[in-house]
């Protein structure tokens, strides 16, 4: 597929993801105001979901990649910075899709309002699928050194630490509990306690290593420019 066509597809998907995030945020804010909950806490909680953060990263990266592709022309390859960011966004989005559809679909999450159906599907299914297709078929991909996996893992590790440190410091605006965690499997106050949380963290970390390695491997196989590993 021509570089210009794929660049346009990246721009369209980036804008669609932004629209989905904004739509869900507006719905959450509206419900929060109607119920008289703490708006600042709800907004902070909204942007503490890994799904939201990974989609914001993906949308920003796709817009960057789309604009760069249109400006650079057919023979240009991705810059190392763009290729690394794409690898981070792709890994995060694929994990988002896997975790949500395997563990969380059908479970109401504490985001301040019911999910908007079309937005929910974009954030958890359509977006992740597009990033996977982008990895497999987008032209002019740059291969990355294997050490890039460490950069890919930095995002989820920092988010996990932030979530577990912040959780006991936030009062749940929906029910008044003296803690707030974005996902039930990260809540040490639930069934299984800390041992269960630690098991989930280990399993998800291994999944990130696997998907991150797959992302880098595919990029190296499809590379159009050599990179010293």
Write out pLDDT tens, residues 25-36.
Answer: 999 999 999 999
Going by C-beta distance under 8 Å and a sequence separation of 6 or more, which residues neighbour residue 101? 124, 125
CA distance 174 to 176: 6
pLDDT tens-digit map of 178-229: 999 998 889 999 889 999 999 989 998 999 999 999 999 998 988 754 343 3
Quote the domain boundaries for residue 149.
3-221
In the chain, the number of structural domains is: 1
Cβ distance 110 to 172 under 8 Å?
A: yes
Q: Is residue 152 part of a domain?
A: yes
pTM: 0.90
Q: Is residue 121 part of a domain?
A: yes
Q: Is residue 228 part of a domain?
A: no
Please give the pLDDT value at position 105: 78
Q: Is residue 25 part of a domain?
A: yes
Select from 57, 83, 67, 87 the least CA-distant residue to 3: 67
CA distance 135 to 58: 12
Please state the rounded mean pLDDT for residues 42-48. Answer: 95
Q: Give the three-class secondary structure for 171.
A: coil
Q: Is residue 13 part of a domain?
A: yes
């Amino acid at each position: 597929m021509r570089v210009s066509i794929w660049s346009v597809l990246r721009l369209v998907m980036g804008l669609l993801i932004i629209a989905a995030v904004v739509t869900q945020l507006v719905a959450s804010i509206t419900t929060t105001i109607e119920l008289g909950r703490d708006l600042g806490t709800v907004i902070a909680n909204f942007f503490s979901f890994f799904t939201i953060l990974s989609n914001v990263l993906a949308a920003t990266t796709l817009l960057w990649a789309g604009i760069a592709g249109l400006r650079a022309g057919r023979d240009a390859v991705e810059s190392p910075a763009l290729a690394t960011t794409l690898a981070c966004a792709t890994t995060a989005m694929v994990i988002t899709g896997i975790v949500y559809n395997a563990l969380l679909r059908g479970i109401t999450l504490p985001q301040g309002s019911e999910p908007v159906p079309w937005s929910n599907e974009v954030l958890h299914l359509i977006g992740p699928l597009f990033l996977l297709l982008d990895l497999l078929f987008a032209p002019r991909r740059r291969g990355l050194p294997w050490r890039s996996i460490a950069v890919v893992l930095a995002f989820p590790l920092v988010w996990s630490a932030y979530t577990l440190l912040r959780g006991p410091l936030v009062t749940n605006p929906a029910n008044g509990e003296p803690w707030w965690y974005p996902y039930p499997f990260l809540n040490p106050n639930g069934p299984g306690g800390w041992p269960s949380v630690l098991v989930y963290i280990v399993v998800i970390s291994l999944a990130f290593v696997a998907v991150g390695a797959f992302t880098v491997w595919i990029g190296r196989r499809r590379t159009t420019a050599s990179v010293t590993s």
